[in-house]
Amino acid sequence: MMRSPSTVTPRTWLVAPLAADVRRSIDRLAGSADVRQVAVMPDVHRSGDVCVGVAVATSGLVYPAAVGGDIGCGMAALRFDAAADILAAEATAIEILRGFRGAVPALKRRRADAEGGPDPERLSAAPLARAARRDGAWQLGTLGRGNHFLELQADQERCLWLMVHSGSRGIGRAIDAWHHRTAVPVDDGGLAALDATTAAGRAYLDDVAWAREWSRANRACIARAAAEILRAVCGATAEWGTLVDCDHNHVRAESHDGVDLLVHRKGALSARAGERGLVPGSMGTASFHTVGRGSAAALESSSHGAGRALPRGTAAERIDAGRLVREMHGVWFDARRAGQLRDEAPSAYKDIRAVMRAQRELTAVERELRPVLSYKAT
């Protein structure tokens, strides 16, 4: 593996100067072998060897760390034939939250259900196929923890929308761990890479594509379960023709200015010209439906959300349950779990409006939504 002749200069769209550790991480990535372009999104923050909120292009090497473990993690949005006002009553909100908690668990369903998921036999290794048949079946339709959520939102016409944020759960992390065993550091202490022209590199790319399919199926399963709860509680019907689904952790072959590249996105949304996307804020702030502008300088990418302003540990230390409840004013959620959700408080995230302003040349706002009810599994 040959080192790039010189470090590329990252292009940035920022809401504030980069922290020192974030700058070091980006510089390391930009100086890695075969890196042709780096684009830094306004929601960038440190997470592992490669920051969240970065898109990077190579010509032949694949860097699993520039995708992350939650391969295919993304968003889905769905409109209902009802006004958001149907959630005005506390009793209704409580019933919906109870329904979501029962139908969309954090980690494991009550019964295995692989319906709608891709065939595990397509995976590149027998241990991965076994994990997909076992864990994948039990986890399909589960939300996960951390920043994953199921939210009901009101658009500017007060129409009711659902938004789901979830990914590939345990099987995505198993795929990432498996291929890290064969990835090789390019330089002393450098990031580990795979050559896309080798069997190992092709296997990783195929497994990433599989995990993206599984993630889409997972979000669809969650959306169906949530739609059934809303139909039963409120009589609201899902308008499936409005469904938007996009993911922000992947690597795929793309052509940019006539050059074939491998574009990695870790916490970055594909934003090709005319491409619809979803950019959430936090539990208590606005989210946006977007249309990509196809910015070549940004590798046709945008932010995938607001991005963390505080690391989880710091947020949990600085934000108490009472502050979270105050910040969630006007949004239904299970306040009994406020102590467990401190690191997900709105103040733990960047200002989503500042993020959207910073990336005006990357993506256009199609629709703004405000949260009405937020469910996070704990």
Q: What is the pLDDT of residues 107-121, one digit of tens each?
A: 887 666 556 789 999
Q: What is the pLDDT of residues 185-212, one digit of tens each?
A: 987 778 999 999 999 999 999 999 999 9
In angstroms, rounded to a whole number, what is the distance separating the alpha carbons of residues 108 and 137?
A: 9
349 DSSP assignment: B
Beta bridge mates, 367 = 289
Does residue 108 contact residue 142 with C-beta atoms inside 8 Å? yes
In angstroms, rounded to a whole number, what is the distance separating the alpha carbons of residues 156 and 210?
A: 36
Does residue 339 contact residue 77 with C-beta atoms inside 8 Å? no
Q: What is the pLDDT of residues 243-274, one digit of tens each?
A: 999 999 999 999 999 999 999 999 999 999 99
Q: Indicate the Cα dihedral angle 226, 229, 234, 237, nearest 10°.
A: 50
Q: What is the pLDDT of residues 41-98, one digit of tens each?
A: 999 999 989 999 999 999 999 999 999 999 999 999 999 999 999 999 999 999 999 9
Domain ranges of the chain: 11-309+349-375
Give the H or E element holding residue 301: strand 301-303
In angstroms, rounded to a whole number, what is the distance separating the alpha carbons of residues 186 and 251?
A: 19
Fold of 11-309+349-375: tRNA-splicing ligase RtcB (3.90.1860)
In angstroms, rounded to a whole number, what is the distance separating the alpha carbons of residues 26 and 20?
A: 10
Residue 253, token pair as written in the block: 């072959």
Any idea which residues carry the catalytic annotation? Answer: 304
Q: What is the pLDDT of residues 308-324, one digit of tens each?
A: 999 999 999 999 999 99
Q: Taking 90 as the threshold, does the pLDDT of residue 160 lie above it?
A: yes
Model pTM greater than 0.85? Answer: yes
For residue 115, give every residue at least 6 positions away whose Cβ sits within 8 Å of its Cβ, in sequence order, or none: 140, 221
